[in-house]
Amino acid sequence: MKKIRKAVIPVAGLGTRFLPATKSMPKEMLPVVDRPVVQYAVDEAFEAGIEHIVFVTGRNKAVIEDYFDLHPELIGTLEQTGKKTQLEALESMLPVAGATSFIRQQSPQGLGHAVWCAREVIGNEPFALLLPDMVSFGGRGCLAETVELYERTGGNVIAVERCEPSETNKYGIVGRGAEIGGGFEVTAMVEKPAPANAPSNFYINGRYILQPEIFALLGNQ
């Protein structure tokens, strides 16, 4: 079984649900407490043992690439003014050199197309997929637990959480089958079903382990 070394983080969406805030600022850069949303996904990925992150970006998303780059002038100013705490915080959030790639999705064609755009960098190995606008707080990161389940079961793994049965029409819902290695078999996937038609109240929370065969399937869509 191959180790999960790479992760794809799609950041090319237009963020229309957050307008007007996202007219000139990518939704992935909107702050939550003291850092942008995308930073939480990156931290979660590295905590899970990911070695390389592939960002799938789009038009007007250059600020994300700049955010994960060195800023020599700012570092120099912090050093000169003795702001050690801020300097340490800035340095701690930077990935090591060579640990990120940025791929351009030239037009927003959905999540599947964004994943397909990363195929050359991912190559023939399983990988993680994190949707950065789904943030979880507290304790161990969800992706680390998802990777552990993959190491027990292999194959494709989807992380899920429970929602109120009355709220299934807000999420992608999975059907629950037999238990496997601490998880369960997915028997169905339904996008935002009405509560009366939902196969369960387990919703997909934006963390996946996928096999490279998915690229051939996505290429035929």
Q: What gap in Å lies between CA 218 and CA 221, rounded to an integer? A: 5
User: Does a structural domain hold residue 56?
Assistant: yes
Q: What is the pLDDT of residue 108?
A: 80
Residues 6+ apart with CB under 8 A from 138: none
Q: What is the pLDDT of residue 213?
A: 95
User: Does a structural domain hold residue 105?
Assistant: yes
Number of domains in the chain: 1
User: Does a structural domain hold residue 186?
Assistant: yes
User: Does a structural domain hold residue 1?
Assistant: no
Q: What is the pLDDT of residue 24?
A: 80
DSSP letter string over 3-50?
---EEEEE-----GGGTTTTSSS-GGGSEETTEEHHHHHHHHHHHTT-
Residue with tokens 């592939």: 54
Query: Pairing between strand 127-130 and 6-10?
Result: parallel
| Under 8 Å between Cβ of 210 and 127 | yes
User: Does a structural domain hold residue 101?
Assistant: yes
pLDDT, tens digit only, all 221 positions of the chain: 889 999 999 998 877 787 887 788 888 988 888 889 999 999 999 999 999 999 999 888 889 999 888 888 888 888 888 888 888 888 888 888 789 999 999 888 889 999 999 999 999 999 999 999 888 776 788 999 999 999 999 999 999 999 999 999 999 999 999 888 888 999 999 999 999 999 999 999 999 999 999 999 988 87
Q: What is the pLDDT of residue 175?
A: 93
Residue with tokens 């600022």: 25
Q: Kindly report the pTM of this predicted structure.
A: 0.90
User: Does a structural domain hold residue 151?
Assistant: yes
Q: What is the pLDDT of residue 61?
A: 85
User: Does a structural domain hold residue 125?
Assistant: yes
User: Does a structural domain hold residue 10?
Assistant: yes
Q: Which domain holds residue 152?
A: 6-219
Q: What is the pLDDT of residue 48?
A: 94
CATH number reported for the structural domain that contains residue 176 in this entry: 3.90.550.10
